[in-house]
Structures are given as structure tokens and as C-alpha cells.
Amino acid sequence: MFEQLQALPADPILGLSAAYQQDTNPLKVDLGVGVYKDEQGNTPVLSAIRKAQQRLHTEETSKAYLPPVGPAGFNEQMQNLIFGADHTAQQDGRVHTVQTPGGCGALRVAAELIQLAKPGASIWVSTPTWANHVPLLGSAGLQLKEYPYYDADTQAVNFDAMMASLEKVPAGDLVLLHGCCHNPCGTDLDQGQWQQVAELANKNGFTPFIDMAYQGFGDSVEEDAYGVRLLAEKVPELLVASSCSKNFGLYRERTGAISFMGSNATNADNVKSQILKVARGIYSMPPSHGAQLVDIVLGDSALHQQWLNEVAEMRERIKDLREALASALASTADFSFIPRQRGMFSFLGLSPLQVQRLREEFSVYMVDSSRINIAGINQKNLAYLADSIAKVL
């Protein structure tokens, strides 16, 4: 029955990673895969996580299944991290959180939930958006539409065009928004723009769906939650998909959550039951290890502070690298937009041909859109990278 299936091309980013691994050039630079790297090019285990692992190893007494909802402590801690412990929506019992296998799992569970509530519903995504949003949401049966977001000429949010498009989104549709550190362009809404989006959502009746994959990598853990918390004050319903891959360094542990805010506590309870049914039908029970580590870290005041310090170190290193790259390229062209952006990603504005030359002639690896992972830069490869970019411009 499978004879008619044809081989598919490799995923653009995963294929790029494989090509990088096979490259023998000692000067090669990997700016493709979206993982944080330190100055030595490693993706470290955070010290707070190491201590939590030691505690879990000592205290864990069973490997029995978790319930589909996941650890209650993890869900509560993630909810507080995203919404704030004192948010009125939480105090009113309108928010529930369910652990998922990573942020991808959260997106897919949400898509299946939406499909249950409104088969074939339309969800609007930014142009551009993270490429994996398309299969994760579309494969559930949702209809994907686009709204303009990034202006390549100004290297900024085209907010007027965005709002003009969202003005046409009808009640009952959903709008996917990046909570912070937009992937792939690194250009975020400011607080005033979030306020306008919240007012429009409330007026027109579309449902915001926030992808929060990089909380803490923008301005701070608290500041990066501004958009979510504002929307939770203004609209009756809200979905948030969150990930612990970047800010806790738990990439391979696949630790994430889906949070739902309802119009009232009864509505939220009803939706939670549907989320659990969806989860049960896809993967049955969630993985335990990463969620329990997050629960330990956030539930212990000393570890929580250590984690905040480590997130700040990663965030500030990325900001320093943005400044350094823009400075190294200053004599070549104006890249002053790079320090104005947030998170790990930026578009360099190169053509696919220039990206190909970088890969083939200089062993500098990035996706064809010229999106780069800033965290792939370090003091050893910065000058070589800047010189290579200058030669293809």
C-alpha cells in the first residue's frame, strides 16, 4: 500500500544542519538551527536545571504514567509565568493549563481543539511566520490565512498594513500572534501596538492565539508577557501555546503547555475537558521529566532566581552579539536594524543567490530567506562571518 509514496526533500532547516555536519571546513558557521549556543558553540544544560535533576533523581519514586493533564505543579507554575499569579483571569478561575510534548504539541492540541469547536475555522498567521506553524495548524483541518507583518524595506513591523488586514478578520476567526522574539524576523510589537491589537480583537470578536516560545529572551521574563496579559484583560477567550525549550534549555525533553482562558470559569472547565480528550487521542500521556524539572525550578525561590539570572545572561549575550555583528558590518552596509530586534533571529536581507554563495564558498549556513540564528555567532567566528557577508554583497 505504500509503493505509491514518493521520497520528500529534507526539511530545509534539518537538511541544512546535516549539510553543516558533513562540511569539513574548519571555519564553518552554523546560523540555521534555532537553538541557543554559548561562546564555545555548545547548547548547555542550565545550572538551575542540573540542580533540579539531582533533586528529582533523589526524590522520584515512580515512573508510572502521568495523567493527560500533566503535573499539577508544572501547570500552575507555567500559568503564573505566562499570566502572572495575580491576574484577574486567574483569580476568577478562567484559565486552565495542560502540559504538552513541547510547544509543537501545544500548537497541535490547540489546532485539534479549534477544529472540534469550529470545523474548518480560519486562523490568520503573520507574513512571515515560523514555517512549522503551517503543518501543525493546517494538518488539523484549519484554514490558514495571512496578514502582513514584516516590512523588508524598513526592517520593522508594517503595523498600519497589519492593522488594516486584521480589521477585516471576522468574529469567530483566530489570529496567531508571536508573544515576543518573533520567529523568523525578530521584530516585535511594542506596548502601544499590543494595546491597539487588543482593542481591535475585543471590538471585532476574533480570538487571539499566542505562540510564546521565547519568554525571557526579549526584554525580560515579565516584560515579554505584556501582550498575553493585556489581551487576557481585554478579550473573553484566549489561547496560549508555550515552550520550555529555549528559556529552560529543555529542547530534547519536549516540554510545553497549552493554556486556555474562557469567558467564565464554567466555560474554561468545559474547554479543559475537551483539551484532555484531544491529548488522550493523540499521545495519551505526556512525558514527565522536563515538566517536573520546570516545576522544581519555579517552585524553589533560590532555583527560580538562579534560572532568571541564567535567562538574563543568555538574553544579554544575544543583545551583545547583535551589536557586535552590526558594528562588524557597518563599513559594508547599514545593519543597524539588527540591535533593534529581539530574540535569536533576524533577516539579513540577502538574496537566495547570496545565501547560496555563503554556503558554497564560505561554509556559512543559513536558510534561503537569510534568517540567521544570532546565538550561532561567537567571538571566534564573528570577523570571518562579517567578512564573508561583505564578499557576497
Q: Are 157 and 337 in contact (CB under 8 A)?
A: no
pLDDT at position 179? 98
pLDDT at position 12? 78
CA 181/CA 203 separation, integer angstroms: 26
pLDDT at position 159? 98
In a domain, 360, yes or no: yes
In a domain, 60, yes or no: no
Q: CATH no. for residue 348?
A: 3.90.1150.10
Active site residues: 130, 211, 246
Are both 17 and 130 inside the same structural domain? no
Are both 345 and 254 inside the same structural domain? no
For residue 166, what is its C-alpha cell? 486584521
Task: Please determine, for residue 330, whether its predicted confidence score (pLDDT) is greater than 90.
Answer: yes
pLDDT at position 69? 97
Residue at grid coordinates 533533586: 55
What is the signed CA dihedral for 271, 277, 283, 287, rounded to 10 degrees?
60
In a domain, 3, yes or no: no
354 alpha-carbon distance from chain centroid? 27
pLDDT at position 292? 98
Last residue of a domain, one of 271, 299, 327: 299
User: pLDDT band for position 8 (50/70/90)?
Assistant: confident
Q: For residue 387, give Cα distances in angstroms to 16, 331, 382, 384.
A: 21, 11, 9, 5
Are both 201 and 347 inside the same structural domain? no
Give the residue numbers spanning the domain of 30: 12-45+313-392
Task: Please determine, for residue 380, whether its predicted confidence score (pLDDT) is greater than 90.
Answer: yes
What is the signed CA dihedral for 361, 366, 370, 376, rounded to 10 degrees?
-110
CA 163/CA 78 separation, integer angstroms: 30
**From start to end of the chain, where are the E strands?**
29-30, 95-101, 122-127, 143-148, 150-151, 156-157, 174-178, 207-212, 238-243, 255-261, 345-347, 364-365, 371-373
Are both 358 and 281 inside the same structural domain? no
User: pLDDT band for position 361 (50/70/90)?
Assistant: very high
Are both 130 and 219 inside the same structural domain? yes
Q: CATH no. for residue 77?
A: 3.40.640.10
pLDDT at position 47? 98
Q: Are 383 and 328 in contact (CB under 8 A)?
A: yes
Question: Could you please report the per-residue DSSP string of 132-196?
Answer: THHHHHHTTTPEEEEEE-EETTTTEE-HHHHHHHHTTPPTT-EEEEESSS-TTT-----HHHHHH
pLDDT at position 13? 79
Which tens digits make up the pLDDT trace of 93-133?
999 999 999 999 999 999 999 999 999 999 999 999 999 99
Phi, psi of 268 (to 5 degrees): -65, -40
Are both 185 and 323 inside the same structural domain? no
All residues at 6 or more sequence positions from 349 whose CB lies less than 8 Å from its CB, including other chains: 152, 155, 370
